[in-house]
Amino acid sequence: LAARTDAHQATIVDLGSVKIGGGQPVVMAGPCSVESESQLLNTAYAVAEAGAHMLRGGAFKPRTSPYAFRGLGEAGLKILAKARAETGLPIITEALNTADLDLVAEYTDVIQIGARNMQNFALLEAAGRTGRPVMVKRGPAGTIEEWLLAAEYVLATGNPNVILCERGIRTFENATRNTLDLNAVAMAKHRSHLPVIVDPSHGTGKWYLVAPLALAGLAVGGDGLMIEVHHDPDHASSDGPQSLNHEHFADLMEKINQQSAQP
């Protein structure tokens, strides 16, 4: 179902005001984690003003250490819904496990399946069955084939609204957090009709590499970007080192618009 065939038109995930895969790059921006109402609204307004199309923010956070900040849970979902109501931006947030899925689906426009859960087949199927659009992030050690088959699990539930997201894989290189695999973006576009979003924030782990890799991700055929943005990255509860501040995000949006306007 995920495969590109002559018969299958490119999938466009239609969120009303935003169409993912429709030709215009879709930028999903916001903090790694929802930390508080004032934090999220502050950044939501900033990214909306800069021209982002969707708001991201984690309420359920997969953290390497159990002692790290793990998100606000339902309170975070409520804050996201408030930010959507105020800014008009559709939202995307992660569901970490099947127990939270109905709750997450109730609030969000797109359910994010995190990289660590790429092969959590029960979660993929349950997410598909909510009927909400689902974005499947590639696992840090997932092959392209495995990633497409993870998307297939969602499609096989009868839910056609699936988005792929390349967020970097684990390689021998340790100067960056992950290695953003631009081959995979081009290959996924070649092999599948599904829209592909590129996440240079997790893909590099360094805020100063986010803009060049974002532009590269669109240049190789990405349908949009997921970008972490924080009003004060040095004090973010998660992923500060890879988060753009509001000013740097606005600069990136200008560059994206310039690049997209070129014939």
Which residues in this chain contact ligand PEP in the complex, by CB under 6 A?
32, 58, 62, 114-116, 137, 167, 202
132 binds, among Mn ion, ligand PEP, none (CB under 5 to 8 A by kind): none
Give least dist CB 58 to Mn ion, A. 7
Phi, psi dihedrals of residue 136, rounded to the nearest 5°: -105, 110
Annotate 139-151 with DSSP letters as a single string.
PTT--HHHHHHHH
Contact 48, 253 (CB under 8 A): no
Q: At what angle do helices 246-261 and 37-50 cross, to 10 degrees?
A: 30
Q: How far apart are CA 40 and CA 33, in angstroms?
A: 9
Q: Which is nearer to ligand PEP, 21 or 57 (CB)?
A: 57
Q: Which is nearer to ligand PEP, 82 or 116 (CB)?
A: 116
Give least dist CB 156 to ligand PEP, A. 22
Total residues binding Mn ion (CB under 5 A): 2
Quick one: which of 29, 32, 182, 187 contacts Mn ion (CB under 5 A)?
A: 32
Interacting span for Mn ion (CB under 5 A) from 49-57, 141-149, 218-226, 238-246: 238-246
Give least dist CB 39 to ligand PEP, A. 15
Q: Which is nearer to ligand PEP, 130 or 238 (CB)?
A: 238
Interacting span for Mn ion (CB under 5 A) from 27-35, 62-70, 167-175, 191-199: 27-35
Q: Binding to Mn ion by residue 199, rule CB under 5 A?
A: no
Q: Binding to Mn ion by residue 239, rule CB under 5 A?
A: yes
Contact 147, 120 (CB under 8 A): no
Q: Is 196 helix (H, G, I), strand (E, B) or coil?
A: strand
Q: How far apart are CA 69 and CA 13, in angstroms?
A: 32
Q: How far apart are CA 16 and CA 53, in angstroms?
A: 11
Q: How far apart are CA 32 and CA 42, in angstroms?
A: 14
Site for Mn ion, rule CB under 5 A: 32, 239
